[in-house]
């Protein structure tokens, strides 16, 4: 069981503060790795919620491995994001007010693959040809493209 699952048993769908990490992975062509989410059917950026006792960096590494099969030990903190644009309601009604530690992967290894049921596809996209994005991913990428978030 995860911390979030345990909390949901106590609070139901009520809003909770959700701390986690999101990981920007670029290939050599400068394309961004996105995952087609199984819960929303939108494309998102790999990442997820922090477990008890875990650092945000450990969360980022774990989520990257779980969602993409990629390994890294070289992360760079890009930004810490919060606010209304990162509030999210899942299709099942669960509400989260996200605090996101946004990391850029400096290098990675492994073969791209889905290890959990959270994604149905993984693919690299050029920033000027992105698919329909989940709202939090869209907020991050919009800020990245505008230069508000600097890599």
pLDDT over 80 at 1, yes or no: no
Architecture of domain 3-146: Alpha-Beta Complex (3.90)
Question: pLDDT tens across 25-40, in order?
Answer: 999 999 999 999 999 9
pLDDT band for position 59 (50/70/90)? very high
Question: pLDDT tens across 93-122, in order?
Answer: 999 999 999 999 989 999 999 988 889 999
Q: Is 17 exposed, middle or buried (0-12, 13-18, 19+ CB in 10 A)?
A: exposed
pLDDT over 70 at 134, yes or no: yes
Average pLDDT for 7-24:
93
Q: Is 65 exposed, middle or buried (0-12, 13-18, 19+ CB in 10 A)?
A: middle
Beta-carbon contacts of 56 under 8 Å, excluding residues fewer than 6 positions away, are 19, 20, 21, 50, 101
pLDDT band for position 82 (50/70/90)? very high
Q: What is the pLDDT of residue 31?
A: 97
């Amino acid at each position: 069981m995860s911390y979030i699952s345990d909390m949901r048993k106590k609070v139901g769908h009520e809003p909770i503060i959700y701390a986690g990490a999101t990981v920007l992975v670029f290939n050599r062509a400068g394309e961004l790795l996105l995952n087609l989410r199984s819960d929303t059917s939108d494309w998102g950026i790999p990442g997820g919620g922090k477990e008890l006792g875990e650092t945000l960096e450990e969360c980022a590494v774990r989520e990257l491995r779980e969602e993409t099969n990629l390994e890294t030990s070289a992360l760079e903190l890009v930004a810490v994001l919060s606010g209304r644009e990162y509030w999210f309601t899942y299709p099942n009604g669960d509400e989260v007010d996200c605090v996101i530690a946004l990391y850029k992967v400096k290098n990675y290894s492994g073969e791209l693959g889905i290890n959990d049921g959270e994604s149905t596809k993984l693919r690299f996209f050029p920033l000027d040809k992105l698919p329909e994005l989940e709202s939090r991913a869209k907020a991050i990428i919009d800020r990245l493209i505008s230069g508000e978030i600097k890599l």
